[in-house]
Structure 1
Amino acid sequence: MGYTIQQIAEALDAEAFGNTSLKINRVAEPALAGPDDLALLTNPKFADGLALGKARVALVWPGADWQALGLEGAIISTRGRFGMSGLTAMVDPGQHFPIGIHPSAVVDPSAQIGNDVSIGPLAVIGPRAVIGDQSMIGPHCYVGADVTLGTQTFLREMVSIGARATIGDRFIAQPGARIAGDGFSFVTPEKSGVEAARETLGDQGEVTAQSWARIHSLGSVTIGNDVEVGSNTCIDCGTIRDTIIGNGVKLDNMVHIAHNVEIGDDTLLAGQCGIAGSTKIGRNVVMGGQCGVSDNTTIGDNVIAGGGSKMMSKVPAGRVVLGYPAVKMESHLEMYKGLRRLPRLFKDFAALQNSVSKRDTKD
């Protein structure tokens, strides 16, 4: 159907200029934009690409001379990328999941299904499950017994949610996400070599072969409102109590949250992060890709961890860390500079050693 430039600007709380009655049907990069597209040009360094396309209107950076760029109209948002958030929400075509229950879906008679809910082909809804209004359950999804899903839940295809999980409103799970699988909890009849090595920091003592006994997960998972979980991400059940994910948490693809972990509100974990069991992560924490946190560790509020950081002990609130083991980012950079200087240092030391050796020979 499309939107006029004026409609878009009002929705984004932005300013519209030029021919504000122009309608656009989709959003495109400047070089690929057609005459009915809105070009995304929030960074001036990509302005040259506009000449390669046919856009008549663009979302531009503050202060941009849109007329000099050859545009008929423009939208200016004070923070371009934030403007993109609202813009992409407006024009997102979605997954086309129709409202209603597909004939091939299996819905237990005791389940409570809200109003305007979509349940896709081959989905399974377990006994006593509760699904909130305006939710979309994609094809091949599984919602287990006694699960509660809030309003406007959106499960893409092949998402599974194990028994007794409780999830708030506006939850989004990308394809293949797994919520409330059992935790990785095993124990040996006698003290294992791993326990001994941990106590001694290296010595596992006399090695005795033992079989591992399973500790069942009696807890489940509790997730707050406005949480998003990426593809193939796994959140394990708690052992006795629930694993807890706060409001506004965003988890990227292939993130692993182990049993009994607690994550505070508005925390963001990028791809392949791994959080070991019983760890507490504060509010507004950001971790780059492939970060890892040791078990029974506390990460304070507002911590930022660069990609690949491994946090093996407590990190105070507000700290920016990097490395393995993770240290203050400025300390890590100094350590890295020192490491790069080592070859030259070794060469200089060898030359000095050789000089001293020749002098000793002469003496």
Structure 2
Amino acid sequence: MTSLSVKDIAAAIGAEAVGAVDLVVTGVAEPKDAGAQDLALAMKPKFAENLSEGAAKVAMLWPNADWQALGLEAAILPDRGRFAMASVTEMYDLGHGFHQGIHPSAVVSPEAQLGADVSVGPLTVIEAGAAIGDGSVIGPQCYIGMDAQIGANAFLRDHVTIAARVKIGANFICQPGARIGGDGFSFVTPEKNQVEDAREVLGQSSVESSQSWARIHSIGSVTIGDDVEVGANTCIDRGTIRDTVIGSGTKLDNLVQVGHNVVVGDDCLLCGMVGIAGSSQIGNNVVLGGQTGVGDNLTIGDAVITGAGTMVLANVPKGRFMLGYPAMKMESQVEAYKGLRRLPRLFADVANLKKAVSKPADSD
């Protein structure tokens, strides 16, 4: 259990502490669930309305909040509450209790290189030529392939697969079930097939579809920068010839699919169920909302944001906010949606006009 005083927490996050700053905090909770030794997270007035339902003596609020009027004995007043949460939750993270050192059931090749203070969990396999940086934690039932490289201070949860020759930088975090370095989805027919023809003519193909698919092998790998996080059950395919690339600082949510040869820039956010088809390029600081789909061989510029469920079928310039299927500028999509909702009324108006024209009123 973590026990810190209010003033120690405030000092660690660079925030102001007021009131009984020597009170000890042993946990973090939402306002209505907070106990007497919990720090209640109420960084907005609407959250603070629930403080009376709990027993918190101290809360993290907003700048210049009237903490005494809320019945508190102490408060922490950060400039940006949600950002302060990053440090506070790290302080009170209990971890997952993974085994320290190399578990007896782990299978580690004598030709693998493990840095100082590396932990390897039960039933994990580390192949020959793999290199794992200092201070890394490899959870239970993971697989690290031949000649894979993982930088210092990595943290792999259970059931993570890092395939052969994948290269990963420092401070990598990977959630359960992620698969990095699987083969790309690349198949070809001996002659031109109906899919290729349909794409060229943008319509029904006249090509016969009775051909079998031949597999194109993936002889590239995956390169991942520093400070990258990968969510549960996310898959990043290896490149066909060159590597698939994920830039430094990028975060991938659960159930994200990154296809072969894709290049994702630095400091991007790929939210849940995003799918990026092969050979597309994503710029820096891009945010793809949940269930966004990106077609193959497309380019998305820096600082683009897509709303949830957006389907990108064409290149997107730098700085655009996109929404819809197919993706449009967000303001255009909203206007189009408003127009769609007005259609029933428009049809009714047209029907009334037709009746008026076909049966004119008797003139005086």
Distance in 2 between the 1:255 and 1:237 partners?
Answer: 14
Asked if 1:50 is matched to 2:51, the reply is yes
Instruction: Provide the residue aligned with 1:40 in structure 2.
Output: 41
Instruction: Provide the residue aligned with 1:112 in structure 2.
Output: 113
* TM-score when normalising by structure 1: 0.98
Distance in 1 between the 2:354 and 2:128 partners?
Answer: 78
Offset at residue 123 of structure 1 (A): 0.5
Distance in 2 between the 1:98 and 1:73 partners?
Answer: 38
Distance in 1 between the 2:221 and 2:288 partners?
Answer: 24
- SS at structure 1 position matched to 2:180: strand
Distance in 2 between the 1:2 and 1:125 partners?
Answer: 37
Amino acid at match of 1:55: A
Instruction: Provide the residue aligned with 2:341 in structure 1.
Output: 340
Offset at residue 161 of structure 1 (A): 0.7
Instruction: Provide the residue aligned with 1:228 in structure 2.
Output: 229
Amino acid at match of 1:198: R
Matches within 5 A, 1:184-195: 184-195=185-196
- SS at structure 2 position matched to 1:219: coil
Distance in 2 between the 1:117 and 1:70 partners?
Answer: 47
- SS at structure 1 position matched to 2:68: coil
Offset at residue 359 of structure 1 (A): 4.2
Count of matched residue pairs: 362
Amino acid at match of 2:114: I
Distance in 2 between the 1:345 and 1:274 partners?
Answer: 37
- Do the aligned partners of residues 189 and 48 (structure 1) sit closer, same or farther apart at CA in structure 2, a change above 3 Å counting? same
Offset at residue 70 of structure 1 (A): 1.2
- SS at structure 2 position matched to 1:101: coil
Alignment check: 8 A CA contact 2:143 2:160 kept: yes
Instruction: Provide the residue aligned with 2:149 in structure 1.
Output: 148
Deviations 1:293-337 (CA, angstroms, capped at 9, x unpaired): 110000000001111111111100001110111111010011001
Deviations 1:127-163 (CA, angstroms, capped at 9, x unpaired): 1100111111111100000000000101000000110
Structure 2, unmatched stretches of 5+, are none
Alignment check: 8 A CA contact 2:193 2:207 kept: no
Offset at residue 126 of structure 1 (A): 0.7
Matches within 5 A, 1:1-363: 1-359=2-360
Distance in 2 between the 1:128 and 1:322 partners?
Answer: 45
Alignment check: 8 A CA contact 2:246 2:265 kept: yes
Amino acid at match of 2:333: H
How many percent identity over aligned positions? Answer: 61
- Do the aligned partners of residues 148 and 206 (structure 1) sit closer, same or farther apart at CA in structure 2, a change above 3 Å counting? closer
Q: How large is the RMSD of aligned CA atoms in angstroms?
A: 1.3
Offset at residue 118 of structure 1 (A): 1.0
Offset at residue 49 of structure 1 (A): 1.2
Distance in 1 between the 2:12 and 2:189 partners?
Answer: 59
- SS at structure 1 position matched to 2:233: coil
Structure 1, unmatched stretches of 5+, are none
Deviations 1:214-270 (CA, angstroms, capped at 9, x unpaired): 000000000000000000000000000100000000000000000000000000011
Deviations 1:46-97 (CA, angstroms, capped at 9, x unpaired): 2221111111111111121111111111111000000000100111011111
